Every structure is written in structure tokens, then in C-alpha cells.
């Protein structure tokens, strides 16, 4: 695509947004430059003396007086698709640093290391003269906004318009006043503007056709230095960086805006597809991998747990990662900023709360009728490895190898019952007192067989200190988990890794 074609496309897009008059002359302003002076000149030279002309000239003059900037960014792999970004407060002249990352890892240890790495980069790798930039929807955005607020550092941040309504975005643009918060420079990105053969035909780019996330792409285009914090193999971040590097290697290609910024690889993955391709390495940041402590838990090796591993006399309650409430998120970010993280929302973190409270809390999530229950499974510990499957729609594993096992007779004494699997007809035939123990046999469209869980339920919380100590044992996956709960459990602990039982209750 030649330069004049690019300018024509930009002009046609501005006309479609009603930011330029239709009779405006061609211009040579590039998409990445400030378009506001060009728009003002176009309205001043138009022969149509309308109310719209007066409104646009007033808007342009006010924006120029406040230092506002209107520029654009091309969509990934779409030469004729772009977005406009309105900066009502302008943009600082300082170099901008963007931090790019795939989704935060699910593993608790890796998730903690991700936060530590991000804090390290912000505290130690950001120069005084550099300004951070973030985009709504990127993985690091909420953390960077919080950190810059606490550290009193300037931040440029971009909010991406939802949907495809260009008229609504333009209306907000014309009425957007300057942003009053100090050290904050917001940008407001338009919906995607896609030009077909006719410059006035509204066609929106299909973002689903690209693996590269829009927010990550916009961040890369506006950052003069892009730090790659964490990248999943084959994910959108990896695809984005490869595309940027290929553009930098083909600067003669005029069909794209070639990437000229600095790429810094701080993901430290081995092997790194970025470092060999032209990223600047930052090797002292540790890789994100789960750390396993192989130290002996105590002087006693523990007794063999063969019988407990195979026993069907106990019902298993596998813990999952708990969701964070808003106040917990605030607490987590405070601890993260100061380097004093204590909150765990992993399966082992949930188990810690159970052991501290000596109680398993009932919940109503995914329970038809919304009765609060505690769920158990009638399987042995040996079965867990065969039953464990990743639930893509919930982004979590079922049957985590961490939890509490309770003898079925002790649970039956507090009302435990096996669930009744069935369908809508089964539900309709049940009494109100039986319905808390109903479970659909299959998931939606029959894709998941729930009967494989052999589920039991208790209505309400399960108070562990009201049950016989010998009727309870705790199970964990590895030795590092034993170290984590050694001072919390007053019950025996079975380690699936060593297949031994520790701290036997008497």
C-alpha cells in the first residue's frame, strides 16, 4: 500500500466519523501523527458554512489550546482498518514503556512469581525519565494503574470503545473535557474503522479472525519500549512479538507501520523465541516455573499410606482456588506493592483456610435451586489422577489433588447423602427437601458426564472439630505442601507424592 493510499484511507475514515467534511482536500498527514491541526484546517477551508463546521472548529481550537492529540493505530494484519485514539490531555514527550504479558499463570507458585517479577521490573528497571503506558484489557493493566497511583509515577492509559458504534464514540469525543487527575494521560480508542471499496460503507474489522489481542496490539504500537513479562508458547503475545520483529526486519515494506521500538525480553523462558530473533535480553529476572522444595518434612519418614490411598471408606473433598472479593483484591494489591503478599487463592490456600477455621464452608455455586452444600466424592485417592480433567469453560481442574477426606459414617451422621443424578423430569419429581441433592447427569449439550464424580453432599457447613479426629485426614500433592500446612493441621496428612502419611492423629 503506497503512502498516498494510506493517507486516503485515513481521510475516508475521518469522513466516516464525521470529523472531516466530505468535500475536504486530500492531505499528507500520517496516521501516527497528530491529526487535529489537519482537521481544523479542513473545516476552516470548507465552503459549507454549517452548524457542524462551527462545532468542529470550536472543538479543534479547544483541543489545541489544551494540548490534545488525535492520532491512530493500524489494526493487526488489516492494512485498511485502523482505530483513532483521542488524548484530551495530550501525551508526555518522555519515552513510554509498555509491559506485555500472557494471562497470569494458574499455578499458585507461578502466579506469585509473576507478581514478584512485575514488581521487580517496576521498581528496578523503570528509569526516572520513562513514562509507563497501559491499555485497558491487557493482563498488567490493573496492576500498573495501582502501582503508578501509589508510586506517583505518570501513566498514559488507553480505554478501548466497546462495540462498533462510531457515532457514540464521536459524541463522547466532542464532549470530552481535559482529565483532572495529576500524572494521568488518558487515551480513548475508537471502534475499529474498516474501509471497504466505498469509503462511506461501514464495515467493521473482524477481530476474531486474528489471534493477536487488540489491547496488546495497541499497547505495542504506542510504547517506545515493550517489555515481555511472560509469554505462553503459541499464545497471542508470542504471535504479536513475532509479527513486530518481522516488521522490523522488513522496514522497506510500506504496507504496514514498521515496528521501530525496543523489545526487552524479561520472560527468561528457555528456549526464548524472542531473544534469538532480536529482543534485548534482561536475564536477571527469574523464570516463571513452579518451585518445588525437596527438603525432608521432619526427621520421621512417615508411615506407608497404601491402605488410605486405596480406601473407599472415606469421602473426598477436593479444594479449589477461591475467588477474590473486591476487598481481597485491594488487600492483595497493597501486599504486592509493599512486597508482603500473604493471600493465597489456590487449592492449597483454600485448604489452609479450612484448617485454620476447622470448617468447610458450604456454597451454592452451580447448585440447582441455590442450596448451600459441601460436596464430596466417593472415590479413593488412587482414582484422582485418572479422574482429573481440565474444565475449559471454567478455566480450572476438577479433582485437585489437595483437600480433606472424612469417613463416610461420620459424614452420614451429619446428614451426608449421595446425590441423585437425573434430568428435568427427575428434578420435578423431587420434594423440596431432596432437591439440594439433585445433580444433572450430563452438562449442557451432553458434553460432560457428571456421574463420574460419584458425588455426595452435606447441606450446610461441615464443622471438622465436631467430628472424631480419627475420622479425618488431610491429603496434599507434594512435600512442599506438607511444609505449608505442617503447623496448621491437627489431623494426619497423606502426601500423594511420597505415598506416606505424616503427623498421625492418635
Among 346, 467, 318, smallest CA distance to 404 is for 318
- The residues pairing with 374 across neighbouring beta strands, listed in sequence order, are 458
Identify the pLDDT of residue 134. 96
> At 269, is the secondary structure helix, strand, or coil?
coil
Has residue 325 got a pLDDT over 60?
no
Nearest-angstrom CA–CA distance, 351 and 321: 9
Identify the pLDDT of residue 208. 35
pLDDT of 386-445, one tens digit each?
Answer: 777 666 555 555 678 899 999 999 999 999 999 999 999 999 999 999 999 999 998 776
Q: What is the mean pLDDT of residues 200-225?
A: 68
Q: Which residues of 30-40 are buried (b: 16+ CB within 10 A; e: fewer)?
A: ebeebbbebbb
In the chain the first and final C-alpha atoms are separated, in Å, by 79
Could you tell me if 119 and 339 are in contact, meaning their C-beta atoms sit under 8 angstroms apart?
yes
Q: What is the mean pLDDT of residues 125-151?
A: 91
32-36, 163-167, 188-192, 263-267, range with the lowest pLDDT = 263-267
Could you tell me if 216 and 133 are in contact, meaning their C-beta atoms sit under 8 angstroms apart?
no
pLDDT of 437-475, one tens digit each?
Answer: 999 998 776 667 888 889 999 999 999 989 999 999 999
pLDDT of 301-318, one tens digit each?
Answer: 567 888 888 888 999 999
Has residue 132 got a pLDDT over 80?
yes
- Dihedral, 246, 249, 254, 255 alpha carbons, nearest 10: -10
- pLDDT tier at 273, thresholds 50, 70, 90: very low
pLDDT of 76-129, one tens digit each?
Answer: 767 678 899 999 888 888 889 999 998 887 666 677 778 888 888 888 888 888
Nearest-angstrom CA–CA distance, 285 and 480: 23
Among 61, 7, 55, 111, smallest CA distance to 348 is for 111
Give start and end residues of each alpha helix (H) in 74-140. 108-120
Task: Residue 198: count other Cβ atoms within 10 Å of its Cβ.
Answer: 9
Q: How far is C-alpha 296 from the chain's CA centre?
A: 36
Among 207, 107, 5, 91, smallest CA distance to 478 is for 107
Has residue 210 got a pLDDT over 70?
no
Could you tell me if 10 and 29 are in contact, meaning their C-beta atoms sit under 8 angstroms apart?
yes
Amino acid at each position: 500500500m503506497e503512502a498516498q493510499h494510506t493517507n486516503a484511507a485515513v481521510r475516508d475514515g475521518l469522513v466516516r466519523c464525521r470529523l472531516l467534511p466530505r468535500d475536504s482536500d486530500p492531505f499528507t498527514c500520517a496516521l501516527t501523527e497528530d491529526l487535529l491541526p489537519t482537521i481544523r484546517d479542513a473545516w476552516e477551508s470548507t465552503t459549507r458554512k454549517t452548524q457542524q463546521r462551527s462545532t468542529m472548529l470550536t472543538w479543534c481550537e479547544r483541543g489545541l489550546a489544551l494540548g490534545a492529540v488525535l492520532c491512530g493505530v493500524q489494526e493487526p494484519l488489516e492494512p485498511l482498518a485502523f482505530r483513532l485514539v483521542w488524548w484530551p490531555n495530550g501525551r508526555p514527550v518522555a519515552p513510554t514503556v509498555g509491559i506485555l504479558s500472557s494471562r497470569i499463570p494458574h499455578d499458585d507458585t507461578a502466579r506469585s512469581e509473576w507478581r514478584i517479577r512485575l514488581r521487580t521490573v517496576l521498581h528496578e528497571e523503570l528509569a526516572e525519565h520513562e513514562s509507563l503506558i497501559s491499555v485497558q484489557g491487557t493482563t498488567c493493566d490493573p496492576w500498573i494503574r495501582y502501582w503508578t497511583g501509589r508510586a506517583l509515577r505518570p501513566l498514559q492509559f488507553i480505554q478501548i470503545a466497546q462495540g462498533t458504534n462510531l457515532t457514540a464514540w464521536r459524541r463522547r469525543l466532542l464532549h470530552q473535557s481535559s482529565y483532572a487527575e495529576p500524572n494521568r494521560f488518558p487515551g480513548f480508542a475508537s471502534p475499529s474503522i474498516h474501509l471497504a471499496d466505498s469509503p462511506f460503507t461501514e464495515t467493521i474489522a473482524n477481530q476474531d479472525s486474528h489471534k493477536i489481542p487488540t489491547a496488546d496490539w495497541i499497547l505495542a504500537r504506542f510504547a517506545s519500549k515493550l517489555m515481555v513479562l511472560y509469554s505462553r508458547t503459541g499464545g497471542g503475545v508470542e504471535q504479536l512479538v513475532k509479527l513486530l520483529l518481522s516488521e522490523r526486519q522488513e522496514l522497506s515494506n510500506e504496507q504496514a507501520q514498521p515496528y521501530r521500538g525496543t523489545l526487552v525480553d524479561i520472560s527468561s523462558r528457555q528456549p526464548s523465541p524472542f531473544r534469538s530473533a532480536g529482543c534485548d535480553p534482561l536475564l536477571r529476572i527469574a523464570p516463571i516455573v513452579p518451585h518445588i522444595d525437596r527438603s525432608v518434612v521432619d526427621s520421621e519418614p512417615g508411615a506407608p499410606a497404601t491402605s488410605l490411598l486405596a480406601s473407599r471408606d472415606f469421602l473426598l473433598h477436593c479444594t479449589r482456588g477461591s475467588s477474590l472479593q473486591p476487598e481481597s483484591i485491594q488487600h492483595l494489591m497493597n501486599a504486592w506493592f509493599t512486597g508482603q503478599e500473604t493471600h493465597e487463592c489456590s487449592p492449597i490456600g483454600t485448604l489452609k483456610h479450612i484448617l485454620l477455621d476447622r470448617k468447610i464452608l458450604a456454597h451454592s455455586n452451580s447448585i440447582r435451586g441455590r442450596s448451600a452444600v459441601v460436596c464430596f466424592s466417593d472415590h479413593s485417592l488412587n482414582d484422582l489422577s485418572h479422574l482429573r480433567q481440565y474444565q475449559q469453560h471454567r478455566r480450572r481442574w476438577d479433582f485437585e489433588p489437595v483437600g480433606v477426606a472424612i469417613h463416610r459414617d461420620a459424614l452420614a451422621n451429619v446428614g451426608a447423602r449421595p446425590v441423585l443424578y437425573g434430568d428435568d423430569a427427575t428434578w420435578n419429581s423431587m420434594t423440596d427437601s431432596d432437591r439440594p441433592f439433585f445433580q444433572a447427569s450430563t452438562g449442557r449439550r451432553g458434553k460432560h458426564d457428571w456421574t463420574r464424580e460419584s458425588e455426595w453432599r452435606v447441606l450446610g457447613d461441615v464443622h471438622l472439630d465436631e467430628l472424631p479426629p480419627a475420622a479425618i485426614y488431610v491429603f496434599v500433592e507434594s512435600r512442599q505442601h506438607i511444609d505449608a500446612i505442617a503447623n496448621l493441621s491437627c489431623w494426619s496428612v497423606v502426601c500423594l507424592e511420597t505415598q506416606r502419611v505424616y503427623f498421625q492423629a492418635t
